[in-house]
Structure 1
Amino acid sequence: MKSEIEKHDESLSDSDCSDTVEAEDINSIFPQCQHIHTESLGSKYILDLSATSETNPYIAAALTDFSCDIFKSAESQLAKITQLKEHSDRLVSCKFSQKDNNVLYTASADGTVKLWDLRTSKTAITFADTTLEDSDPIKPLSSFDVSPCDKLLAAGTNLFEGDAFILFWDVRSTKLQGAYWESHTDDITQVKFNPDDSNMLLSGSTDGLINTYNLAESNEDDALQQCLNTEELVEQLEWFWERQQWKISCITSSNNLQLWEVDGAEPYKRFNRDTIAGNIKKNANKVYVAKVHPASNSLIILTGSNGKEGKSFRSLQISNGNVNPALSFNENTQRVRASWYNEHTKLLLTGGEEGNLDIWRPDFLETNYKTIKRK
């Protein structure tokens, strides 16, 4: 479903998204990112992407027909392994296990999370709300994550009978382990485990709130640690590590970017749509923010323009609070809806509305301060 901003953007002409400088200046400001491969998945949107961490990874692409295509990357080519198609509604996420490259999780608005063993392409485990009776309506899932220890699953729901839920499962049991339902008052758009701490969870919602929880506490009231008010609809959240502490990036429904301290009363940095557009040398009318990725002690902003069939796609790099031009993705042919990045293998995947899965090899600049070893 498209947002009001996207509908407004589509009503504008391509001249509204033109570059603000000459083409030769764009080429000097934005070096071209190395493009490795494009795989067409047909007319389906790519809604989410995940991959394993090795140099030639397994890749999962969640599609609008409720299926998930699985590929193996090798020597700049992709080989399709299988298609997973057992969900009955829109996929909201797909994630590989951090402990086993053969294990993939998919979550859907049909109210279930499924664990797949790619060696058999069969569902090993289905997680659902086991407190429901057969005649009860399901709680549609809207977001999902798996803990870094690979033992705990968390899924956010749309507003359901007046409440928005975060549901929890232990991967060793299909029984629902518990739920939170008092911390948000609208659809939960994001749940994110801290990359280093399976007890630290982040959630965001269309109610405008970002919440952090300590899951080691026995109840929701005690677990809720911080409540940050963005004053906008929260679309995407990411944890990132900077200056010896965890911080939070938030993309809002207005294509604004906010950076938060975990205990901050307000964002310590804001980059609105106009600012982002100015930095990628575009008029702001059709600019969108696709994703933020932590990389090399900095943040990479993937951003583009809806004009010219969404082909314009560039990146910015934030370090020490400053934003600078990074790379241009000249071979991109679509509005990007999903991406995945591994800073160790320097591999970036993007997918979007034309059904193209693109593989890139970006060379983001190292920041000018030393890498901090996390505990």
Structure 2
Amino acid sequence: MEGMEMEVEEAEPTPNPKHSKRFGLKNSIQTNFGDDYVFQIAPKDDLTSMAVSLSTNTVKLYSPATGQYLGELKGHSSTINQISFSGPTTPNVLHSCSSDGTVRAWDTRSFHQVSAVNAGPSQDIFSFSFGGSGDNLLAAGSKSQIFFWDWRTKKQIACLEESHMDDVTQVHFVPDHRNKLVSASVDGLMCMFDTRGSINDDDHLESVINVGTSIGKVGFFGEASQKLWCLTHIETLSVWDWKDARIEVNFDDARLSASDSWALDQVDYFVDCHYSGEGDQLWVIGGTNAGTLGYFSVNYKGKGTIGSPQAVLHGGHTGVVRSVLPLTGMRDGPTHARGIFGWTGGEDGRLCCWMSDESSDVNRSWISKELAIKSPRTRKKSRHHPY
């Protein structure tokens, strides 16, 4: 990529600099030149490509190692709410769901759609997950409903209508328990289902957890994936033991706790949580409206605390960040991608690549010439609807 050099701001002091590392911007890609957003970045299993969903209802593919543009997937007629690569048996297949009511499968070599299921034109699909025997059971969250299809036949086999009263923002099969499904909703409830047999609301709902406010994102972590983290639309964080339906810690003031642990601007929102089995470490990723990110360590045992950021990503984005893809620690990554900490994408339409190799020149960034041309329109800095 032909580019121009630009200085990145020097690190500002943090309350605990010994445990905080600042990462340099290696590369920045402008995915578009309008007011379009990056929604999500999803990695291929072997990290040879990454998919990026955009607010143009398209998915673009890039190389995580070089940032090279590989192609795009077009077909959805409304907002793409989730993307995910398939497992090792079909590594070149990407799945996506959309507010157009469909879950689609794409061949990322030919950039063509290969199959799809349709819940109907009036059904937004906010999330999906594959599980069950052979991972052939597809669950999808919609408007107060959870749909189930047999992916082999594309036949709808169940629809749960009584467990939630509002949009189902998340569905996830438990990684180590492929017949267990958790759903989360704007109604503030998380429901756990056993999906074996003929699925229905009465016989297969095992437990209900009341978080008390609209749920944005959940994820599993810990030994045997027994723990569950939950981020809400009012930016609170809680940790649960889903087997016992028991709360372990609740951070009602998570943003304040994170803001108090660094010397930068206040934390305005949370993007995601990441977990490392090495050291049993959970991080919550918080961001500012100006685009700075922090990896804040979470101690979820006992009273629970949110500590100083162990990583700060600063100088790449100019707006809200929507997605973070870490490459460090993900199967060590491909050899040619080592030294890259990860990628981020946001409402400024940018993809930013961050260096983690301390021997590299991390105080400089390379930005394509088009990025020097600023849009004359003023961008709002407010948090947008999350799904």
Asked whether the two chains share a fold, i.e. TM above 0.5, the reply is yes
Q: Count the aligned residue pairs.
A: 323
Aligned equivalent of 1:224: 205
Deviation readout 1:166-199 (Å, 9 max, x if unpaired)? 1112221222122211110001111112122221
Aligned equivalent of 2:165: 185
Q: 1:207 aligns with which of 181, 187, 192?
A: 187
Higher RCO (CA 8 Å, separation ≥ 6 residues)? 2
Q: 1:120 aligns with which of 104, 110, 114?
A: 110
CA distance in 2, matches of 1:221, 1:34: 53
Deviation readout 1:60-94 (Å, 9 max, x if unpaired)? 011001000012334xx122221111011000111
Q: 2:156 aligns with which of 138, 152, 176?
A: 176
Aligned in 2, Cα 1:348/1:73: closer, same or farther, shift over 3 Å? closer
Aligned equivalent of 1:140: 124
Is the Cα contact below 8 Å between 2:28 and 2:316 reproduced in 1? no
Q: How does 1:92-103 map onto structure 2 within 5 Å?
A: 92-99=81-88, 100-103=90-93
Aligned equivalent of 2:235: 255
Q: Which amino acid aligns with 1:53?
A: D
CA distance in 1, matches of 2:78, 2:323: 18
Aligned equivalent of 1:82: 71
Aligned equivalent of 2:361: none
Identity of aligned residues (%): 27
Aligned in 2, Cα 1:65/1:224: closer, same or farther, shift over 3 Å? same
Q: Which amino acid aligns with 1:241?
A: G
Is the Cα contact below 8 Å between 1:187 and 1:206 reproduced in 2? yes
Aligned equivalent of 2:63: 72
Per the normalisation by structure 1, the TM-score is 0.79
Q: How far is the alpha carbon of 1:222 from its aligned partner?
A: 2.0
Aligned equivalent of 2:23: 33
Is the partner of 1:360 in helix, strand or coil?
strand
CA distance in 2, matches of 1:191, 1:126: 18
CA distance in 2, matches of 1:267, 1:282: 31
Q: How far is the alpha carbon of 1:312 from its aligned partner?
A: 2.1
Aligned in 2, Cα 1:89/1:356: closer, same or farther, shift over 3 Å? same
Is the Cα contact below 8 Å between 1:229 and 1:266 reproduced in 2? no
Could you tell which deviates more after superposition, 104-113 or 316-325? 316-325
Deviation readout 1:254-303 (Å, 9 max, x if unpaired)? 1110001114555211222222222344565x521111112232212110
List runs of 5+ in structure 1 lacking aligned partners. 1-21, 159-163, 364-375
Is the Cα contact below 8 Å between 1:128 and 1:174 reproduced in 2? no
CA distance in 2, matches of 1:211, 1:45: 31
CA distance in 2, matches of 1:97, 1:361: 27
Could you tell which deviates more after superposition, 181-190 or 314-323? 314-323
Is the partner of 1:24 in helix, strand or coil?
coil
Q: 1:279 aligns with which of 246, 256, 261?
A: 261
Is the partner of 2:126 in helix, strand or coil?
strand
Are 1:23 and 2:5 matched, yes or no?
no
Are 1:339 and 2:328 matched, yes or no?
no
CA distance in 1, matches of 2:260, 2:244: 27
Are 1:288 and 2:269 matched, yes or no?
yes
Aligned in 2, Cα 1:23/1:299: closer, same or farther, shift over 3 Å? same
Is the partner of 1:255 in helix, strand or coil?
coil
Aligned equivalent of 2:50: 59
Is the partner of 2:82 in helix, strand or coil?
strand
Is the partner of 1:141 in helix, strand or coil?
coil
CA root-mean-square deviation:
2.4
List runs of 5+ in structure 2 lacking aligned partners. 1-10, 334-340, 358-387
CA distance in 2, matches of 1:362, 1:317: 18
Aligned in 2, Cα 1:248/1:92: closer, same or farther, shift over 3 Å? same
Aligned in 2, Cα 1:323/1:41: closer, same or farther, shift over 3 Å? same
Are 1:46 and 2:59 matched, yes or no?
no
Aligned in 2, Cα 1:358/1:197: closer, same or farther, shift over 3 Å? farther
Deviation readout 1:22-68 (Å, 9 max, x if unpaired)? 933458252113544322202320111211132x4211011001000
CA distance in 1, matches of 2:67, 2:275: 25
CA distance in 2, matches of 1:153, 1:358: 32
Is the Cα contact below 8 Å between 1:128 and 1:175 reproduced in 2? no
Per the normalisation by structure 2, the TM-score is 0.77
Is the Cα contact below 8 Å between 1:280 and 1:316 reproduced in 2? no
Q: Which amino acid aligns with 1:222?
A: D
CA distance in 1, matches of 2:135, 2:225: 23
Is the partner of 2:75 in helix, strand or coil?
coil
Runs of 4+ in 1 over 6 A off after TM superposition: none
